[in-house]
Amino acid sequence: RYYSTSVKTDAKILMKTLLLTGGSSGIGLTTVQLFAQKGWRVFELSRSGKTTAAITHIDCDVTDDMSVQHAVDQVMHLTDHLDVVISNAGFGISGPIEFTSIEEAKKQFDVNFFGAFRLAQSVLPIMRQQGYGRIIFTSSVAADLSIPYQSFYSASKSAINALALALANEVRSFGIRVSVLMPGDVATGFTDAREKNIEGANIYKGLHSAVEAMEKDERSGMTTAFIARTFYRIATAKYPKPIYVGGMIYKVFCLLNRLLPKRLVNWIVGKLYS
């Protein structure tokens, strides 16, 4: 059950609604702007966003259970339904596994994975009650092709894929659809915001060159507008797929990952970042 952008029901206008986390900049900001331009009512949840004429900002820290639930409650005070929820909040760390602290690894998962989990738990009762809804998780091609020295970011995104596939089967009977978007390299402030751990660089000689290669690819990557349009296609698809890959070349990479021996694929990835 999906409403058109605006339809008359019982003498009132019901607009499609979008709730998105991590919309203060980058992919998230471009996405909420696009949905607003398409006539949706948009709620942007983050720690530093701003309310505009077309977008309602609500403060939210996805690492805090109460903050996420309170933000969703605020949204539901302002609307009576949720059509699409996009879990987009995230960040990256880099460094050798041997020299990454447990605290750093937990922080990576707390934002990227558990932040998505908290959001899903908060909106699922709403979607179950209304009998429809769509949840879209932002993952990464790194979920399929694990990147050296970005191991915990890759692992957190791989965990999101597993969570989303299981959730899709759990909630299908309630009219809820679940999808994942795995973008490739995208030019955003995400690159500069990465938390870099250079401990062990004197031992792991490839650390600096690997991170530099990765960041070069990101800075020359796809536009946020392209990814935003992909989110919109997923949100409005009649029969959404469980997993989407953002960018044609990355679709080829992911296909080869499934067709070629894993040892060969992993060797190629290692050579790309060496």
Task: Please say whether the beta carbons of 141 and 254 come within 8 A.
Answer: yes
One-letter identity of residue 130: Q
Catalytic residue among 153, 204, 232, 244: 153
Catalytic residue among 16, 24, 154, 232: 24
- Polymer length in residues for the chain: 274
In angstroms, rounded to a whole number, what is the distance separating the alpha carbons of residues 52 and 73?
20
Beta strand segments in the chain, E? 6-9, 12-15, 17-21, 41-46, 55-59, 84-87, 93-94, 133-138, 176-183, 195-196, 243-246
Take residue 123 and report the two structure tokens written for it. 């909106």
Task: Please say whether the beta carbons of 176 and 135 come within 8 A.
Answer: yes
Query: Considering just the CA atoms, what is the radius of gyration of the chain in Å?
Result: 19
157 noted as active-site residue:
yes
Q: Are strands 6-9 and 12-15 parallel, antiparallel or unpaired?
A: antiparallel
Catalytic residue among 87, 157, 232, 250: 157
Take residue 193 and report the two structure tokens written for it. 């915001």
SS3 21: strand
In angstroms, rounded to a whole number, what is the distance separating the alpha carbons of residues 126 and 226?
30
Catalytic residue among 46, 139, 151, 156: 139
Nearest to 240 by CA among 97, 114, 111, 132: 132
Task: Please say whether the beta carbons of 85 and 135 come within 8 A.
Answer: yes
The residues carrying an active-site annotation are 24, 139, 153, 157
